[in-house]
């Protein structure tokens, strides 16, 4: 299990990180990248005693339940072997203490049904939904890998991180969420710990526990604040209705995290974090962050615009990410070129190559603006 704060690997049963002391929150549906000696994790390992006997007994006809791999507000997730197909799976089980609550059961089943309609290579696949001995559960892919937090931390520590590599990862996450939006599903709880990276370095979006769709919107309590504070949109903070634009905002913050390894929104309390979403000007920090190239910084800032109406659609985000990939090489100092007309740029005697680079960057930015105006809002 990896720490969300520092990315260090911990024992599966640990409650606090051995490195930084942060409370650990296992990622739902994820198996660790491997054992401590670096060998691949074994989905067919011996059963662990952290599985309640009631769960093991209720599911024993169909599954050999091996161990607990995650716990969240909507249930616990276990590693198991599906007997009939002899394949590893993850099983999410609604907690027994709330399994007789009709509203919780409806929400639990809604998560399974919403996620099951989403067949995309970067979204975890749901296999089946069932009820045994009073336990409600659904099965899904058991994905061997690491959390996005651990992945970014490890890549940066190894010196292998680059804007292109980060952009490739975020492109696939954006495409997955864009697909979900096309199917009428809004995630509402996108954050680095709800994304994992498998052994092929492919990101997988997980945990649709707070997802919503038009036909199930009556399950959302009006005015309720749902989500994770650091990655909530301003409208979520205010308890307003969810929309695809809220996912765009969260993805903008994830984009910055993948580029830098840092959270853009920081605070010592939920109130302090909420205030940043509602009032902070993130432009100076993003513009002047040398780890974020200029074109990426501009797109991030548009995605986290405080006004949902001014944020781009994910179809636009995806198109612009691909255009940025085709842009000429950006120098280490290109973040200072985010606005070529700004007064704090270098003096006119700057070398001719640098001046030509600025001109080329300005033309690219102008072309992006023209393409957005010509292409409309997209879907």
**Domain containing residue 328: CATH number:** 1.10.510.10
Question: Who's near 253: CB < 8 A, 6+ residues apart?
Answer: 230, 231, 263, 264, 265, 304
The span from the CA of 239 to the CA of 202, in Å, is 33
**120 falls within a domain:** yes
Q: Determine whether 189 is an active site residue.
A: yes
- Based on the fold, state whether residues 130 and 168 are members of the same structural domain: no
**7 falls within a domain:** no
Q: Which two tokens stand for residue 93?
A: 């089980």
**18 falls within a domain:** no
Report pLDDT for 267.
85
Average pLDDT of span 323-352: 47
Catalytic residue (choose from 4, 62, 175, 189): 189
* Mean confidence (pLDDT) of the chain: 78
- Based on the fold, state whether residues 135 and 44 are members of the same structural domain: yes
**Which of residues 86, 113, 144 is at a domain's end?**
144
The span from the CA of 220 to the CA of 235, in Å, is 15
> What's the pTM value of the predicted model, to 2 decimals?
0.72
Q: Taking the chain, what is the end-to-end CA distance rounded to the nearest angstrom? A: 37
- Based on the fold, state whether residues 112 and 150 are members of the same structural domain: no
**16 falls within a domain:** no
**Which of residues 144, 176, 206 is at a domain's end?**
144
Structural domains counted in the chain: 2
The span from the CA of 325 to the CA of 304, in Å, is 21
Q: Between residues 54 and 14, which one has the greater pLDDT?
A: 54
- Based on the fold, state whether residues 342 and 320 are members of the same structural domain: yes
pLDDT digits (tens, 9 = 90+) for 103-120: 888 877 877 787 788 899
**In the chain, pLDDT over 90 holds for what percent of residues?**
44
- Based on the fold, state whether residues 108 and 202 are members of the same structural domain: no
Asked if residue 275 has pLDDT above 90, the reply is: yes
pLDDT digits (tens, 9 = 90+) for 205-257: 987 755 665 444 333 333 334 457 899 999 999 988 889 999 999 999 999 99
**277 lies in which domain range?**
146-375
Of 158, 103, 159, 114, which is closest to residue 136 (Cα–Cα)? Answer: 103
Most confident of 18-22, 48-52, 72-76, 175-179: 175-179
Q: Phi first, then psi: what are they for 260, rounded to 5°?
A: -120, -25
- Based on the fold, state whether residues 135 and 150 are members of the same structural domain: no
- Based on the fold, state whether residues 58 and 161 are members of the same structural domain: no
Q: Which of 201-205, 238-242, 255-259, 348-352 has the lowest mean pLDDT?
A: 348-352
Report pLDDT for 104.
80
Burial 208-247 (b: 16+ CB within 10 A, else e): bbbbbbeebeeeeeeeeeebbbbbbbbbbbeeeebbbbbb
Average pLDDT of span 277-281: 93
**Which of residues 112, 128, 144 is at a domain's end?**
144
- Based on the fold, state whether residues 96 and 155 are members of the same structural domain: no
Asked if residue 347 has pLDDT above 50, the reply is: no
**6 falls within a domain:** no
pLDDT tier, 359 (very low <50, low <70, confident <90, very high otherwise): low
- Based on the fold, state whether residues 185 and 92 are members of the same structural domain: no
pLDDT tier, 72 (very low <50, low <70, confident <90, very high otherwise): low
- Based on the fold, state whether residues 123 and 60 are members of the same structural domain: yes
**Integer-rounded Cα radius of gyration of the chain:** 22
The span from the CA of 270 to the CA of 228, in Å, is 10
- Based on the fold, state whether residues 108 and 215 are members of the same structural domain: no
Domain CATH for 96: 3.30.200.20
**274 falls within a domain:** yes
**256 falls within a domain:** yes
pLDDT tier, 35 (very low <50, low <70, confident <90, very high otherwise): very low
**288 falls within a domain:** yes
Pairing of strands 143-147, 30-31: parallel
- Based on the fold, state whether residues 288 and 339 are members of the same structural domain: yes
Report pLDDT for 357.
58
Measured in residues, the chain has a length of 379
């Amino acid at each position: 299990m990896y720490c969300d704060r520092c990315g260090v690997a911990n024992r599966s049963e640990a409650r606090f990180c051995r490195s930084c002391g942060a409370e650990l929150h296992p990622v739902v549906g994820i198996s660790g990248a491997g054992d401590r000696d670096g060998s691949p994790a074994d989905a067919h390992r011996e059963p662990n005693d952290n599985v309640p006997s009631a769960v093991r007994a209720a599911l024993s006809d169909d599954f050999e339940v091996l161990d607990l791999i995650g716990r969240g507000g909507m249930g616990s997730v276990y590693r198991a072997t599906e007997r009939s197909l002899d394949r590893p799976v993850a099983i999410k089980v609604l907690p027994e203490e709330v399994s007789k609550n009709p509203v919780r059961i409806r929400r639990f089943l809604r998560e399974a049904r919403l996620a099951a309609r989403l067949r995309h290579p970067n979204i975890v696949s749901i296999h089946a939904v069932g009820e045994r001995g009073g336990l409600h559960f659904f099965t899904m892919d058991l994905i061997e890998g690491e959390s996005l937090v651990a992945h970014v931390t490890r890549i940066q520590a190894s010196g292998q991180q680059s804007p292109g590599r980060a952009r490739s990862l975020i492109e696939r996450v954006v495409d997955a969420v864009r697909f979900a939006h096309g199917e009428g599903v809004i995630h509402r709880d996108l954050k680095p710990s709800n994304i994992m990276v498998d052994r092929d370095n492919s990101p997988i979006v997980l945990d649709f526990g707070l997802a919503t769709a038009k036909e199930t919107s009556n399950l959302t309590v009006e005015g309720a604040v749902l989500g994770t504070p650091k990655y909530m949109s301003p409208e979520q903070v205010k308890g307003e209705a969810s929309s695809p634009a809220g996912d765009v905002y969260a993805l903008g913050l994830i984009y910055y995290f993948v580029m830098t390894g840092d959270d853009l929104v920081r605070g010592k309390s939920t109130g302090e974090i909420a205030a940043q979403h509602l009032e902070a000007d993130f432009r100076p920090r993003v513009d002047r962050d040398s780890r974020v190239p200029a074109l990426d910084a501009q797109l991030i800032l548009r995605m986290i615009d405080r006004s949902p109406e001014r944020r781009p659609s994910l179809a636009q985000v995806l198109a612009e990410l691909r255009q940025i990939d085709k842009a000429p090489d950006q120098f280490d100092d290109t973040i200072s070129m985010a606005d070529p007309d700004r007064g704090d740029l270098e003096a006119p005697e700057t070398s001719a190559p640098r001046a030509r680079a600025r001109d080329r960057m300005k033309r690219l930015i102008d072309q992006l603006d023209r393409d957005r105006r010509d292409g409309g809002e997209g879907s």
